[in-house]
């Protein structure tokens, strides 16, 4: 009867473990990362009784978690991609809202050119001129506000980068500690530490959502985590922390480095929310800031050039109408020499939305854009012969050392510095500075087609010029030497350019002189109105309005792609989660069935023990009698 009792006790104990395991599963049904646990049983070795083998009960072999390494790895990858897509979509949505909000640049441009049209209709009207200045200031405020919002978003990104790195370091330290506990638990020979393994897997999933990692299982049941091209985060019980460091050119811009090595790994980080932050900063925010600045430079350059060709109510030629931020030149923190660099925009038509790095190798300078592509330069870099590339003029000086470099950001600060340069409405140069007339006795069909100012600084610009054609193909100016005339080609002198329509005859005359009707003239105001559609950028192919349209289209496209990517990654993540939970998740219905089964087994084992006790009592009673 001792064997029967032992058999009943083994069943009772096995059922107790089963009931405890099921209870643990039910209690953790809502615990994130928990894997369903199961009990593994095996029959005890049978005893031979005569010609038979009689069973002796059950052994509890192990309590194991329902687990698939393949499905968990797929879930970690999906978590990384989903977190990256969610962060990227959130950021692109913010920048899209900024461009389409109350500070919409296109609205400000339309209002400004509308006010300019009112000045064209009434060039002497003080109220119209005042409104134009107000609209110019509003346009400047819009450029500045958009630039400020981009800067705020950039600051938010920098803070999120720092916070994410801190979180990664904290989680990596926790994983390293769990590695040590798991290794110790396995070494004790007491079975699988399921709850510790679940805790570690949950942390790995969290880190995967923060940054793309490679997970390597080790023979001692620990895991190693790597980021980028081999930067270790966790190795056994050791955690290797990441850190942030100022960019070598811009101390407000954070780079990702290995805390121990100090090596920059920003370009190697590609997954999770951290990868999204870095990607958004480089591929959306920086280009948007530069593209906005490019539009500001184009606006100021084109409008100022035409404004300089007009005359204001004081009888003076127009000055700069808009100010704009100058190109930024940032020294590398590792520069050893005393080299200097100055940058100016010399050709707006060739200006891009890129940033550049100018580097000295000890004997020559080379230019690359921030994507690493070589950019051809002309010139020698002196003030008399500056380096020229992509609309920039670069002048180097001092004594640079080999390896020294400078970052050039042509348009990053342009919008922040954009604003009206004049405050006096009388200084709006709405009038044409020169008036032209054809001689009353002219015999040919020549007529004045247009007058343009080519050099506002020419001292003889406003002087009277008498043009006399000695033949249909030659002329003199103020009795000077005869010059050849080619029909259709302009006549140039003293900072002005005159275009004639038709064909002049011999002895025909034309006169140019300072405009004495500047108060009522709108010649230059009409020309300023045409700047709205004037091709300025991309070698004359892109106007200011179209440049802003390119910006909104560029950011809008990024936002649309980010939204689609998030939808896709959400679906992939849910599929990966369902597959993983199909193996590891707790099913209440299954646990209820297991609970009944173990309860009945427990009761049956208790009955076996009771029966063994009754038989033993009967034997004792028989012996006593």
Distances from the Cα of 176 to the Cα of 163, 183, 202, 254, 257, angstroms: 20, 11, 13, 26, 20
Q: Per-residue pLDDT for 107 more than 60?
A: yes
Between the two ends of the chain, the Cα-to-Cα distance in Å is: 20
pLDDT at site 163: 96
Helix residue spans in 188-256 (DSSP H): 194-210
Rounded to the nearest 10 degrees, what angle do helices 194-210 and 272-280 cross at?
0
Give the largest CA-CA distance in the chain.
Answer: 162
Q: Which pTM value belongs to this model?
A: 0.87
Q: Per-residue pLDDT for 614 more than 90?
A: no
Q: What value does the mean pLDDT take over residues 158-173?
A: 96
Round to whole Å and give the CA distance between 272 and 270: 7
Residues whose CB is less than 8 angstroms from the CB of residue 497 and which lie 6 or more positions away in sequence, other chains included:
451, 452, 453, 454, 490, 491
DSSP one-letter code for 410: S
Residue 281 belongs to what H/E stretch?
none
pLDDT at site 229: 78
Round to whole Å and give the CA distance between 304 and 448: 25
Q: Per-residue pLDDT for 290 more than 50?
A: yes
Distances from the Cα of 132 to the Cα of 48, 123, 209, angstroms: 110, 11, 52
Q: Per-residue pLDDT for 399 more than 90?
A: yes
Q: Per-residue pLDDT for 408 more than 90?
A: yes
pLDDT tens for residues 432-450?
999 999 999 999 999 998 8
Residue 500 belongs to what H/E stretch?
strand 496-501
Residues whose CB is less than 8 angstroms from the CB of residue 618 and which lie 6 or more positions away in sequence, other chains included:
none
Q: What value does the mean pLDDT take over residues 553-572?
A: 93
Q: What value does the mean pLDDT take over residues 524-549?
A: 88
CB distance 394 to 341 below 8 Å: yes
Of 156, 246, 172, residue with least CA distance to 256: 246
pLDDT tens for residues 499-514?
999 999 999 999 999 9
Tokens for 236, please give them: 């056994």
Q: Per-residue pLDDT for 391 more than 90?
A: yes
CB distance 330 to 250 below 8 Å: yes
Of 51, 342, 115, 434, residue with least CA distance to 107: 115
Q: Per-residue pLDDT for 612 more than 60?
A: yes
pLDDT at site 47: 86
Of 417, 135, 159, residue with least CA distance to 289: 417
3-state secondary structure 33-91: CCCCEEEEEEECCCEEECCEEECCCEEEEEEEECCCHHHHHHHHHHHHHHHHHHHHHHH
pLDDT tens for residues 72-105?
999 999 999 999 999 999 999 999 988 887 668 8
Tokens for 360, please give them: 């000295």
Q: Per-residue pLDDT for 595 more than 70?
A: yes
Q: What percent of the chain has pLDDT over 90?
A: 75
Determine the 3-state secondary structure of 243 from DSSP. Answer: strand
Is the backbone of residue 432 left (phi > 0), alpha (psi -120 to 50) or beta? Answer: beta
Beta-sheet strand order (sheet of 496-501) = 447-453, 496-501, 491-493
- Measured in residues, the chain has a length of 625
Q: Per-residue pLDDT for 359 more than 90?
A: yes
Distances from the Cα of 318 to the Cα of 299, 425, 457, 543, 551, angstroms: 16, 12, 11, 22, 31
Of 537, 297, 515, residue with least CA distance to 412: 297
pLDDT at site 1: 46
Round to whole Å and give the CA distance between 542 and 526: 20
- When pLDDT is cut at 50, 70 and 90, the band that residue 148 belongs to is very high
| Average pLDDT of every residue of the chain | 92
- When pLDDT is cut at 50, 70 and 90, the band that residue 550 belongs to is confident
| Most confident region among 321-325, 525-529, 593-597 by mean pLDDT | 321-325
Q: How many CA atoms lie within 13 A of 127 on its CB side?
A: 1
Of 455, 448, 505, residue with least CA distance to 475: 505
Computed on alpha carbons and rounded to an integer, the radius of gyration of the chain in Å comes to 41
Round to whole Å and give the CA distance between 111 and 138: 9
Q: What percent of the chain has pLDDT over 70?
A: 99
């Amino acid at each position: 009867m001792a064997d029967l009792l032992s058999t009943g006790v083994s069943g009772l104990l096995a059922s107790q473990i089963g009931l405890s395991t099921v209870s643990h599963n039910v209690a953790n049904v809502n615990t994130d990362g928990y894997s369903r646990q199961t009990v593994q049983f095996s029959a005890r070795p049978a005893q031979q009784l005569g010609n038979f083998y009689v069973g002796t009960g059950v052994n509890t072999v192990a309590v194991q978690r329902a687990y698939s390494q393949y499905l968990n790895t797929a879930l970690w990858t999906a978590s990384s991609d989903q977190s990256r897509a969610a962060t990227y979509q959130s950021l692109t949505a913010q920048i899209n809202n900024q461009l389409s909000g109350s500070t919409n640049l296109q609205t400000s441009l339309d209002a400004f050119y509308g006010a300019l049209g009112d000045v064209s209709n009434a060039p002497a009207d003080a109220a119209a001129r005042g409104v134009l200045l107000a609209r110019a200031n509003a346009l400047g405020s819009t450029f500045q506000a958009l630039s400020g919002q981009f800067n705020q978003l950039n600051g938010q990104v920098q803070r999120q980068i720092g916070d994410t790195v801190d979180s990664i370091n904290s989680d990596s330290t926790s994983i390293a500690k769990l590695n040590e506990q798991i290794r110790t638990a396995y070494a004790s020979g007491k079975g699988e530490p399921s709850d510790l393994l679940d805790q570690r897997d949950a942390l790995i999933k969290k880190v995967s959502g923060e940054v793309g990692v490679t997970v390597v299982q080790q023979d001692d049941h620990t895991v190693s985590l790597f980021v980028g091209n081999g930067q270790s985060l966790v190795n056994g019980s050791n955690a290797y922390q990441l850190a942030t460091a100022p960019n070598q050119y811009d101390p407000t811009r954070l780079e990702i480095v290995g805390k121990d090595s100090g090596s920059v790994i920003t370009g190697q980080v590609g997954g999770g929310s951290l990868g999204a932050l870095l990607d958004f900063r480089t591929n959306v925010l920086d280009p948007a800031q530069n593209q906005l600045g490019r539009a500001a430079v184009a606006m100021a350059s084109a409008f100022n050039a035409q404004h300089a060709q007009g005359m204001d109510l004081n009888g003076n030629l127009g000055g700069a109408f808009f100010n704009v931020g100058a190109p930024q030149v940032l020294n590398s923190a590792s520069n050893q020499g005393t080299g200097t660099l100055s940058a100016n925009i010399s050709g707006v038509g060739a200006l891009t939305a890129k940033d550049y790095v100018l580097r000295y190798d000890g004997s020559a300078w080379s230019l690359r854009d921030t994507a690493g592509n070589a950019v051809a330069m002309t010139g020698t870099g002196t003030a008399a012969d500056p380096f020229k590339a992509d609309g920039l003029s670069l002048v180097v000086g001092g004594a640079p050392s080999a390896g020294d470099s400078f970052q050039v950001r042509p348009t990053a600060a342009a919008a922040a510095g954009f604003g009206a340069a004049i405050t006096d409405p009388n200084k709006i140069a709405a009038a044409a500075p020169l008036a032209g007339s054809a001689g009353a006795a002219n015999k040919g069909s020549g007529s004045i087609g247009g007058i343009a100012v080519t050099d506002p600084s020419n001292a003889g610009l406003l002087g009277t010029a008498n043009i006399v054609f000695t033949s249909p193909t030659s002329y003199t100016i103020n009795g000077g030497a005869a010059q050849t005339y080619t029909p259709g080609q302009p006549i140039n002198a003293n900072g002005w350019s005159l275009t004639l329509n038709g064909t002049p005859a011999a002895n025909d005359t034309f006169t140019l002189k300072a405009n004495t009707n500047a108060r009522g003239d709108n010649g230059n105001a009409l020309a300023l109105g045409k700047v709205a559609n004037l091709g300025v950028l991309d070698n004359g192919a892109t106007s200011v309005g179209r440049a802003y349209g390119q910006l909104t289209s560029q950011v809008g496209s990024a936002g649309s792609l980010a939204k689609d990517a998030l939808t896709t990654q959400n679906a992939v993540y849910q599929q990966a989660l369902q597959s993983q939970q199909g193996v590891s998740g707790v099913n209440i219905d299954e646990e209820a069935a297991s609970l009944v089964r173990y309860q009945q087994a427990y009761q049956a084992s208790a009955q076996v023990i009771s029966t063994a006790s009754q038989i033993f009592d009967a034997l004792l009673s028989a012996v006593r009698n």
